[in-house]
Chain A
Amino acid sequence: MNGIHDMGGMHGFGPIELEANEPVFHETWEGRVYGISRAMTRPDGFNGDLGRYTREIMPPDLYLRSSYYERWLWGFEWALLHFGSMTLDELKAGEGSKAASPRNDALTADQVSATISHKMPSDRAIDTKAGYAVGDRVRAKNLNPSHHTRLPRYARGKTGTVRLHHGAHVLPDSHAQGQGENPEHLYTVAFTAKELWGEDASPRDLVMLDLWESYLEPV
């Protein structure tokens, strides 16, 4: 979706604020949000791609004035309400309905370290042959889906060169919509800064993006 999250190339956000000896979490509640993301039993249909999408559908003015973990919090609230894990009345009251019988299969503290080192590969074996090879010239299609995608606006319609081929990976556009993994070949495509940003850009610099087969067309 053409959302506010798609920020590559925007102007106006000012200098980068650096903080020496930065803590991992600035506020106690930020750690709780992060810990909830790692420890909660996710509703069926919730996956990492959908998690990103939940933050993209925040109203753009709210996105801009929210801190990083406020955006995560908003996304979890949205997803848990959307999938019916809880009701807005329960969230407002800060207590669950007494009638429901609780589950007993939540992740325990001693299982957490295993989840941290647990790989969740997104590559999949598929029968379809790769349409492109390293060195091929390709163009990113001018796609403007209203749903989740990982093709940023700044690369659409631009021509680049395939730098790496990663095999086939789960397609986020499909996965985030609950339409299955639909894996496609994934490539790192190198675009010159001049192709992306015009004549005033550095003649040497490149920007690499990881792009799925259906984002690309041959040149």
Chain B
Amino acid sequence: MADHHHHQHLPSDPALRVKALETVLTEKGLIDPAAIDAAIDAYEHKVGPHRGARVVARAWSDQDFKRRLLEDATRACDEMGSVGAQGSHIVAVENGPKIHNLVVCTLCSCYPWPLLGLPPAWYKSFAYRSRAVIEPRSVLAEFGLELDDDVEIQVWDSTAEIRYLVIPQRPEGTDGLEPDALAALVTRDSMIGTGRALQPEAKP
């Protein structure tokens, strides 16, 4: 039985503690270190915001898909192979000229992994978790987003297994762009609601 102070008996250096934990798990046959390597590789190289960007770009270019995405995002993302762990139930919310959606998890760090990968440090920070629900406008200002007073902000605090994807506004001057070119404008932050999609000329 564990008390809540086991750490007092273990090294303070987390690298040493992880090594000990991994070693004991391995010796007991409870983990295969090669599987740890594979999980790291997957989230460093394969699963990331490019997946969500493909969904958004398709919604911008295909009205029928957008309707399906807003009606049942889990099914629509499934069509594109972008559901899975920490993204079994997805709801898409659309930004417009007078409405701005922002996603947070005040209690932990819930985030749509299959669409955006693992969350950035700021999303998991005490500052973002504490402030996004009480002062979203000053939070957005720190990201460089100054919203007019007549824009309604809807903050989604992810308290269940529903994961939220923001569909940012499609930038002006993108008529005729192919979905791949549109997807390159869709940033991670624009799908959390702390940014806008890039302007075509601002594309790095």
Contacts and interface: CB of A to CB of B under 8 A. Distances in A.
B is bound to A: yes
Interface of A: 5-19, 22-29, 31-36, 38-41, 52, 55, 57-59, 62, 64, 67-70, 73-74, 76-82, 85-86, 88, 90-96, 100, 102-113, 115-123, 150-152, 154, 164, 166, 169-170, 172, 186, 188, 190, 196-197, 201-202, 204-212
6 contacts: A7-B129, A9-B133, A40-B30, A52-B108, A79-B2, A96-B27
Contacts of A25: 40, 44
Given A74-B7, A78-B2, A91-B20, 10 more contacts: A8-B157, A16-B127, A73-B17, A76-B21, A106-B30, A106-B31, A112-B35, A119-B83, A122-B161, A205-B152
A204 B88 contact: no
A120 B188 CA distance: 24
A7 to B, nearest CB: 4
B176 interface: no
A205 B154 contact: yes
Contacts of A39: 31-32, 35-36, 38-39
B101 to A, nearest CB: 9
B37 interface: yes
Nearest to A58: B4
Contacts of B83: 117, 119
B127 A13 contact: yes
A151 B7 contact: no
Nearest to B109: A68
Contacts of B202: none
Interface stretch (B55-63, B116-124, B179-187): B116-124
Interface string B71-95: 0000000000101110111010000
A150 B157 CA distance: 10
A24 B81 CA distance: 22
Contact of A17 (B36, B122, B162): B122
